[in-house]
A = this chain, B = another copy of it.
Amino acid sequence: MSASIKVFAPATVANVVCGYDVLGFAVNEPGDEVIMKLTEGSGIRITKITGDEGRLPLDPQKNTVSASVQHYLNHIGKPDVGVEIELHKKMPIGSGLGSSSASTVAGLFAVNTLFDNLLTNKELVPFAMKGEELACGYGHADNVAPALLGGFVLIRSYQPLDIISLPHPDDLYAAIVYPEVDVPTKDARQMIRSKVLLKDAVTQWGNVAGLVSGLFMKDYDLIGRSMTDILVEPTRSILIPDFYKLRSLAMKTGATGFGISGSGPSVFALTKDEATARAITQKLQQHLKGIGINSLSFVSEVNKKGPVILD
């Protein structure tokens, strides 16, 4: 065996404002790349990681890519296959854009392709969730499921896992800005209260239902009206510099809706077209620069494919 494959998997925006832990969508950029080769030897080796500034472990038991690939190999009854992995991080770590998820999904898609697609992308979700557990102490699916399936994804239930692909308007764009401040996912989760008022929960699930309806109806206004989070955003926004100012700028510049990507600090807007998305990232980056914060930005259509083979 000497097959080799290069795979791209997309970044993702989890929660989508009101859908904490149940909604997410994928974008066309950024994302990560994995090059994988089956070898004559035995066991998984990570031969190279680029773009991580030395932050990710090469130890195959600690790295989320290799760990989830090992789960996959165990599952298909080939635990001792030799695998060499190169990971090329093409997106910031700890940015709230599903960085670990993109790497893990690229690895799983690669190994599954090398083994003739024994599993569907949907069936790969639980393996990717194992990687998330390793990366952030909690096996959530709202990044890995959209990274694997593309588009918008609903995780209706975790036990049992029940994943539904949702439609979206064809021309929906995402404008993402990553302010370069540090917000570890674990801390961001721990800040959130464990109890909430039922009446606030009702408000929230009205919005979740509205967002899902808006996606099916391709109704931008309804999507936008529904992108309101009264439970999690008020807490998480504290960690994001000038969050409400950024929101106000985005909305004034024509955003359909705006919010925190995953646990932050990245923020995102959904827009009806590319020009609006670009105008928003420009305004937001300008504002952040004005308060002394460097940022990165990404503009792309909502991803429709999930991971893809490159070359």
A: residues with CB less than 8 A from B are: 19-23, 154-158, 162, 164, 166, 192-199, 201-210, 212-213, 216, 222, 225-226, 231
CB distance from A190 to the nearest CB of B (A): 12
In the complex, A195 Cα to B225 Cα: how many Å?
Answer: 25
Known contacts A197-B195, A198-B231, A225-B162; is-contact A156 B22 (Cβ 8 Å)? no
Q: Which of B154, B195, B201, B202 contacts A209 (CB 8 A)?
A: B154
Q: Which of B194, B205, B222 contacts A205 (CB 8 A)?
A: B205
Question: How many monomers of this protein are in the complex?
Answer: 2
CB distance from A18 to the nearest CB of B (A): 8
Besides the contacts A196-B201, A201-B205, what 12 more A-B pairs have beta carbons closer than 8 Å? A23-B209, A156-B213, A156-B226, A157-B203, A157-B225, A158-B206, A196-B197, A201-B204, A205-B209, A208-B208, A212-B216, A213-B216
Known contacts A209-B208, A226-B156; is-contact A198 B195 (Cβ 8 Å)? yes
Q: Which of B23, B195, B206 contacts A157 (CB 8 A)?
A: B206
B19-A205 in contact (CB<8A): yes
Q: Would you list 19 pairs from A and B whose C-beta atoms are within 8 A, ordered by A residue?
A: A22-B205, A22-B206, A154-B213, A156-B206, A156-B207, A156-B209, A156-B225, A156-B226, A157-B225, A162-B225, A164-B213, A164-B222, A195-B196, A195-B198, A196-B197, A198-B231, A201-B201, A204-B205, A212-B213
**A197 contacts which chain B residues (CB < 8 A)?**
194-196
**A162 contacts which chain B residues (CB < 8 A)?**
210, 225
B23-A210 in contact (CB<8A): no
In the complex, A209 Cα to B20 Cα: how many Å?
Answer: 12
**A207 contacts which chain B residues (CB < 8 A)?**
156-157
Q: Which of B20, B202, B213 contacts A202 (CB 8 A)?
A: B20
CB distance from A67 to the nearest CB of B (A): 25
